[in-house]
Amino acid sequence: MSMTLLEFKSRAVTYYKAKASVYVKSPPGMGKSGVMLEVPALLERAFPGKKFGIATLNAAGASETDATGFLVPVKGDGANKPRSEFTEPAWMITDEGKHMREYDGGIFFVDEMDKAPLEVKKMLGEAAHSRRFASHTLPPGWLMWGAGNRAMDRSGSTKELDHLINRRMERDIRFDLDSQREYMEGVGALPELLTFVIENVGAFDGAAVPKEQGPYLTPRSLMEVNDLLAVMRDDNNGVIPDDATTIEDCAGYVGHAQAAMLFAMIRLGMELPPVEAIIADPKGVKVPKRADAQMMTAYKLAHAVDATNAGALTTFMDRKEMPQEFAVTFLRAATKAQPKLALQKDIAKWCQTNARLMAIIGRLRDNTQRA
């Protein structure tokens, strides 16, 4: 049975406490590597006062010396002959640039583990079981976790070794809307793309590589489109261009069919009232009638809200023409990207009129104050 990224995050601390060596796998581009980077923060919340890190080894380009360090001669003492020792490998330095020993624990993350050369996989099997690489042992509190693709995904996977399989816990990751929406809201993805995901969630279900090779839609390729369009929008006076060349650029990431569907959503966004008009007249500006347009408006406002305009934007979101579910969408997206908005006075006043909003804001305040 597969699990979602949110389910993995909810169990990551338990896996760590059990000293499990965890390996997650899925089709390409599902967000496995990104969720691994969140694990140290999850551990720090579970173990107050402790410092956790992550050190990453990309196994696709790894060699034996990357795993063990170089074997060098060391001068012997007295009458003893010189001996051989391995140098410390680069992976003992964390993604923050510090040595593993400077932390109370952490995750040694072997990314693209499925693509490791067989000689490296032999050593990974021992590390999964004993935390040992040749003459090196992971410091106390450190565990080896990994991520990769499946053999069927045509992604360069090498042969799996049974001793490695037997020494780790394997979990398959599947796409789900809640995990993707939480991630996109957290990184401030374009409202048009957020709405596209929600309205076209079926396009991601059972995501797998296409039978014929070419660009295709995954959470990762969609975020590549997001980053491209964000730059184009900023260079075009805040408007996403929808010319044929731009559509072809995006098709180069997600394929022509998905690019056409995406730009239909982008053109819908062009028909919405500008954020500036809503701020200037939150009670009088016209509210879109279509549900997908209302949802996109909620995301657009969440993308734009700050302490100076929160009063006007919450006034608009409180209008009877806007369904309550999109008030929740607005609040969740805004505070996911900017957690301190949970403490802003206009947001707090607005939430007092709605029990669902109060529940959300209460959890966010607790998390913000702990942080």
Could you give the 3-state DSSP secondary structure of residue 159?
coil
What pLDDT score does 368 carry?
47
Give the predicted TM-score (pTM) of the model: 0.82
**Six-digit token string for 139:** 């410091």
Region of 98 please: left (phi>0), alpha (psi -120 to 50) or beta: beta
Could you give the 3-state DSSP secondary structure of residue 315?
helix
Average confidence (pLDDT) per 10 residues, the chain, 371 residues: 94 97 94 95 97 96 86 80 85 96 97 94 88 87 96 91 93 92 90 91 73 91 96 94 97 95 92 93 93 92 92 93 90 85 84 73 55 49
What pLDDT score does 210 carry?
81
CA distance 99 to 92: 6
Could you give the 3-state DSSP secondary structure of residue 92?
helix
**Six-digit token string for 129:** 């079981």
For 311, phi then psi, to 5°, come to -60, -45
Listing DSSP states for 188-205 in one string gives T--HHHHHHHHHTGGGTT
Query: What architecture is domain 5-172?
Result: 3-Layer(aba) Sandwich (3.40)
What pLDDT score does 72 carry?
87
What pLDDT score does 19 carry?
96
CA distances from 307 to 279, 304, 313 (A): 12, 10, 10
Domain boundaries, the chain: 5-172, 177-370
For 271, phi then psi, to 5°, come to -90, -5
